[in-house]
């Protein structure tokens, strides 16, 4: 026999949408999303909005400690009182907190769960390892001029489409997406587990740039002169510290990361080819590609000059790329 507290809602979620209001009871758990497949009807709130993920968030009630928690499980993100949440991280909530997903506003209501909760009262020690990584940064070369004449919402929608497409190219080349940084994409390969990481990274940069050239004319992103989106790509190899910041976010920290971003910042500009690599990457993959003339460049934040190499294409003897 179930207890009284399970039969009676312990909280409610008030949904505001298109001027209307709907009250949804919460017994112990509530899943919110576009589908929530396989979830009991009493434990789900389905919102048929394409801007909401199939399984967008979860609310958990801990009756014993008198605490309530919110967990974002979405692709598009969740706002709690106007602040974005980290994905898959348990965050405490209290009565009257406002949750925003897509165009929907949800208000958490309860006479209980007012105890100030903690996300982790006994933190687990973060493991930090140092590895040799190959890193690729792709940077939109004409982003500043595009942003001057393009609505922010149009930019966001277009980049979301572009990044999703390039992520498929990245997976085909065994790379891992570290993060997006507005107008830049940052991907990594671990050399210890992927011996051909240098070649895979270069192949990815070349393939991704071709995809940008194909998609660019179809996207509503234009410089004032009418030219479509263009990108520059930097490929570097170096030691980096790897730290798990949350369950789904990993930080890759090191000087090589800075060099990758700086190199992407000059690639595809001032007449340079779209893909530029560092000396170590060139040395590891020299025989597999056709190269342009090397160049001495100054990397902001570093002393002296760096030698960088433009990649033209795979060499005939280098095959058609790795998978």
Condensed to tens digits (0 to 9), the pLDDT of residues 133-182 reads: 999 999 999 988 998 899 988 988 898 899 989 999 999 999 988 777 77
Class of domain 128-318: alpha beta
The tokens 């949800």 sit on which residue? 106
pLDDT tens for each residue of 221-242 = 999 999 999 999 999 999 887 7
Beta bridge partner(s), residue 104 = 101
Q: For residue 44, what pLDDT is reported? A: 94
The tokens 């790329």 sit on which residue? 321
pTM, rounded to two decimals: 0.64
Q: For residue 4, what pLDDT is reported? A: 44
Query: What's the mean per-residue pLDDT of the chain?
Result: 86
> Is residue 46 classed as helix, strand or coil in its secondary structure?
strand
Has residue 293 got a pLDDT over 90?
Answer: yes
Structure tokens at 125: 């020690």
Mean pLDDT highest for which of 189-193, 216-220, 262-266?
A: 216-220
CATH 3.30.70.1230 residue ranges of the chain are 128-318
DSSP H or E segment with residue 303: none
Architecture, CATH, for domain 9-109: Sandwich (2.60)
Q: For residue 64, what pLDDT is reported? A: 85
> d(Cα 237, Cα 229) in Å, to the nearest integer?
27
Listing DSSP states for 50-112 in one string gives: TTS-TT-EEEEEETTTTEEEEEE--SS--EETTEEPPTT-EEEE-TT-EEEETTEEEEEE-SS
CA distances for 68 relative to 8, 25, 27, 249, angstroms = 16, 14, 11, 24
């Amino acid at each position: 026999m179930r207890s009284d507290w399970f039969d009676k809602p312990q909280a409610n979620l008030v949904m505001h949408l298109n001027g209307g209001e709907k009250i949804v009871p919460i017994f112990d758990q509530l899943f919110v999303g576009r589908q929530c497949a396989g979830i009991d009807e009493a434990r789900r709130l389905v919102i048929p909005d394409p801007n909401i993920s199939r399984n967008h968030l979860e609310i958990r009630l801990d009756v014993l400690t008198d605490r309530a928690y919110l967990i974002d499980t979405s692709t598009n993100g969740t706002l709690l009182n106007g602040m974005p949440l980290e994905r898959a991280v348990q965050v405490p909530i209290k009565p009257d907190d406002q949750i925003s997903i897509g165009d929907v506003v949800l208000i958490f209501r309860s006479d209980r769960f007012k105890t100030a909760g903690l996300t982790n009262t006994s933190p687990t020690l973060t493991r930090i390892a140092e590895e040799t990584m190959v890193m690729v940064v792709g940077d939109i070369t004409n982003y500043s001029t595009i942003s001057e004449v393009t609505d922010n919402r149009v930019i966001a929608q277009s980049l979301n489409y572009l990044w999703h497409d390039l992520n498929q190219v990245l997976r085909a080349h065994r790379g891992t997406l570290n993060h997006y940084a507005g107008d830049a994409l940052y991907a990594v390969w671990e050399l210890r587990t992927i011996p051909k990481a240098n070649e895979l990274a270069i192949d990815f940069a070349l393939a991704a740039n071709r995809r940008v050239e194909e998609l660019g004319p179809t996207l509503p992103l234009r410089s004032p002169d009418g030219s479509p989106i263009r990108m520059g790509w930097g490929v570097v190899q170096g030691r980096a510290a790897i730290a798990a910041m949350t369950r789904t976010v990993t930080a890759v920290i090191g000087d090589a990361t800075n060099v990758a971003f700086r190199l992407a910042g000059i690639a595809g500009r001032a007449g340079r080819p779209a893909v530029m690599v560092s000396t170590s990457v060139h040395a590891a993959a020299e025989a597999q590609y056709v190269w342009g003339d090397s160049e001495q460049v100054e990397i902001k934040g570093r002393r002296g000059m760096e030698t960088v190499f433009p990649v033209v294409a795979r060499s005939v003897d280098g095959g058609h790329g790795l998978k």
